[in-house]
Amino acid sequence: MLPSRAVAGSWQVRLHRGAKRKVNLLSGTLKASAQTGAGLGLWLPRLAWAALAYNVLVILWGAVVRITGAGAGCGDHWPLCNGVVVPQSPTLHTVIEFSHRLTSGASGLLAIALVALAFAVTGKGHPARFGALLTLGLIILEGLVGGVQVLLGLTAQSTDPARGFVQGIHLANTFALLGALLLTALWASGQPLLRLRGQGRAGALSAAGLVLLLILGMAGAVTALGDLLFLPADGSVGIGTVKHDYAATASIIEKLRVVHPMLAVLTSAYLAWLGVWLRRLRPGAEVLRWSGVLWGLLVAQMLAGFANIALHAPGWMQLLHLLLACLTWLAAVMLVYRALTTLRVSSVSGAAA
């Protein structure tokens, strides 16, 4: 027989080896879980940026629906198309409208995936969770506004003044959606949380710039609608169009059309000044970069606006104008974000020192 001390030693060795094996197995499990979580974490910013790009394309396709007059392609039915889930023997307008509904539905699925992934890979209170939920809510609202347009018959060649109002609301929600997606992508990429309190004049002036740009976009939506419905028969533009818009028989949509170019000049001047001011107050590489991008887009947008008038608002130019509007909005949001987070980073650095 082995001495008791030897037996105890052998048990200790066995226990040690078993514990070691258990620890190895546990560490392997934790390592695999960490690798899986890290892998999913890499997909969150990718999905957010992809969703942002995809939604810009969906917005442009929605403009195609308006330009082609295909908004009534599914009749006055929503969410069904001509009373059925899948239209039978569809016309071209039905194909255009139904495809827009499909692409919009895919946006909703992307938003749901974004929410699920954000909650799977980020901790409680992470801003990416809020951004993803806000994105999903705005996409749902976007679909409801589109549905209201269809159910009320505010599509195709409808000249109801309410159509201009709904069109403006639609554009405002679209811009809010793009902003939410941009912030979600930034937060998912590890960028700092945007805090609005304590920003002083920078926060107030930046907010004023975004509000002006939002109103400009809403006015642009009404103007685009007016160009579609009320372009003079001879295709004249300029002074002739202004005189026509203020004739006694002109509708409210026609009379509002002249507001857009004047508001565009005012807003562009303000945003150009805001870029200069933020460069001085919140100097930083990102502020310098995005103010320059914003200035370039403002110039391009003004040139596109003049060309749109000169060319009698062709469909392709309206799409280019809308694309530049989306990019200008995103650049403005990015500039404001970088400027308002620069103070926070500087404050943290100063406190640490």
Residue 160 DSSP SS3:
coil
pLDDT tens digits along 195-204? 888 888 899 9
User: Quick one: average pLDDT of 189-193?
Assistant: 92
Mean confidence (pLDDT) of the chain: 82
Most confident range (mean pLDDT) of 133-142, 147-156, 307-316 is 133-142
Residue 272 CB coordination number (10 Å): 15
Q: How far is CA 62 from CA 3, 126, 143, 308, in A?
A: 87, 33, 12, 19
Say whether pLDDT at 111 is over 70: yes
For residues 82 and 59, the model is more confident at 59
Residue 84 DSSP SS3:
strand
Per the DSSP assignment, residues forming a β-bridge with 81 are 84
Residue 140: its pLDDT value, please? Answer: 96
User: Quick one: average pLDDT of 144-171?
Assistant: 87
Exposure pattern of 62-82 as b/e (b: 16+ CB <10 Å)?
Answer: bbebbbbebbbbbbeebeebb
pLDDT band of 88, cuts 50, 70, 90: confident
Length of the chain: 353
pTM to 2 decimal places: 0.82
Q: Which residue has the tokens 């226990």?
A: 15
Tell me, what DSSP letter sits at residue 81?
A: B
Residue 312: its pLDDT value, please? Answer: 79
Work out whether the CA dihedral 47, 49, 52, 55 comes out positive or negative: negative
User: Quick one: average pLDDT of 293-313?
Assistant: 91
Least-confidence region, from 1-15, 100-114, 296-310? 1-15
Residue 225: its pLDDT value, please? Answer: 82
Per the DSSP assignment, residues forming a β-bridge with 84 are 81
